Amino acid sequence: MKKQNLGANGSVVSEIEIVYKNKAKEKTKIKTSLDAYNVFKSVYDFNKIEHKEMFYCLYLNRANTVLGVLLISEGGTKATIADPKIIFQGALKLNASAVILSHNHPSGNMKASSEDISLTRRVKDGGKLLGIDILDHLIVGPEENVYLSMSDEGIF
């Protein structure tokens, strides 16, 4: 019989369990924005990429080896909500040292919007508090091999 966790007043307290199992046989190392794009390219659904925005995070260890990729949100044709709390939940669960953000622009416009830049800066500032580096934010276009790296462009 499992023992219940009881609070000070006898009420049941939720127990939290954090589990991460790395099942990848090959370790992918990220050295450039193209390396990151190639990982993201493998998870974006190119059947949907012209119809809805999707936001993904790529989590890395201290050696910039991929720990995992997480879909943060899916939205409509103009926007998706990327909640920094959800971004950092993934990072903390994986004990990640760095994160690369990515979302697509269904329109094919490869220019970072003011909202894209603002979100990236807010997440980067939050990462500083946690000791998690935000290395880049890629905007992916609907055509294969079309992307913008905010880091390469010096945007943030």
* pLDDT tens column, 143-156: 989 999 999 999 97
**15 band by pLDDT with thresholds 50, 70 and 90:** confident
Closest CA to 82 of 50, 29, 118, 110: 118
Q: What is the pLDDT of residue 20?
A: 67
Check whether 5 has a pLDDT greater than 90. Answer: no
| CATH class of the domain at 33-149 | alpha beta
Q: What is the pLDDT of residue 12?
A: 81
CA–CA separation, 83 vs 68, rounded Å? 18
- Is residue 65 classed exposed, middle or buried when 0-12, 13-18 and 19+ CB atoms within 10 A define those classes? middle
Closest CA to 123 of 73, 150, 84, 83: 84
52's CB contacts (< 8 A; 6+ apart) are: 74, 75, 76, 77, 80, 106
Q: How confident is the model over 77-124, as pLDDT tens digits?
A: 889 999 999 999 999 999 999 999 999 999 999 999 999 999 999 999
Q: How confident is the model over 53-76, as pLDDT tens digits?
A: 999 999 999 999 999 999 999 999
Q: What is the pLDDT of residue 71?
A: 95
Number of helices (H), then strands (E), in the chain: 3, 5
15's CB contacts (< 8 A; 6+ apart) are: 5
Give, as one character, the DSSP assignment of residue 28. Answer: P
DSSP E strands, the chain: 54-60, 66-74, 98-104, 133-140, 147-149
**In what helix (H) or strand (E) does residue 19 lie, and over which residues does it extend?**
none
pTM score, two decimals?
A: 0.87
